[in-house]
């Protein structure tokens, strides 16, 4: 099963939260370790995992559950998800950029919001223009 991302949230110690290809968030119990099917997934109604304190699961753990992370190239035609809208908003707020400038920054730096947040507005705009 292909997913966008998967998290281990501190508030849900017995469960993992995953974002499906369509941007929908689901939750599943990770014990016992088994291949996850659609029937194992339940709706997740908590806070956005991108802003919760938790860890993104590495690919080798995902493989234990039969899950595979979608690379950005495979998901290029997917509709915009809540997570990507949130990342776009972070870029605009942190850097105080317009929508057009935000798109240029995302094209250059991708989804690495920590790198974007670490830079000052002047440096970002200078890097984008070059």
Task: Kindly report, residue by residue over 43-102, the tens digit of the pLDDT.
Answer: 999 888 888 877 889 999 999 999 999 876 455 445 556 666 666 666 666 555 566 666
Q: What is the pLDDT of residue 62?
A: 93
Among 65, 100, 96, 70, CA closest to 83:
70
Q: Give the count of beta carbons closer than 10 Å to the beta carbon of residue 10.
A: 10
Instruction: Look up residue 118 and give its two tokens.
Output: 């670490």
User: Cβ distance 25 to 44 under 8 Å?
Assistant: yes
* Contacts of 46 by beta carbon, 8 Å cutoff, 6+ apart: 9, 11, 12, 17, 52
Q: What is the mean pLDDT of the chain?
A: 76
Whether the pLDDT of residue 111 is over 60: the answer is no
User: Cβ distance 128 to 104 under 8 Å?
Assistant: yes
């Amino acid at each position: 099963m292909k997913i966008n991302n998967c998290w281990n949230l501190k508030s849900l110690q017995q469960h993992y939260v995953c974002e499906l290809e369509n941007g929908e968030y689901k939750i599943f119990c990770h014990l016992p370790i088994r291949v996850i099917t659609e029937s194992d997934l339940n709706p997740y109604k908590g806070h956005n995992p991108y802003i919760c304190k938790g860890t993104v699961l590495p690919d080798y753990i995902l493989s234990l559950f039969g899950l595979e992370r979608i690379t950005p190239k495979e998901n290029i035609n997917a509709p915009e998800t809540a997570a990507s809208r949130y990342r776009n908003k972070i870029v605009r707020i942190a850097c105080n950029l317009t929508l057009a400038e935000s798109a240029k920054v995302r094209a250059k730096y991708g989804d690495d919001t920590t790198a974007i947040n670490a830079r000052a507005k002047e440096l970002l705009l200078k890097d984008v223009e070059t």
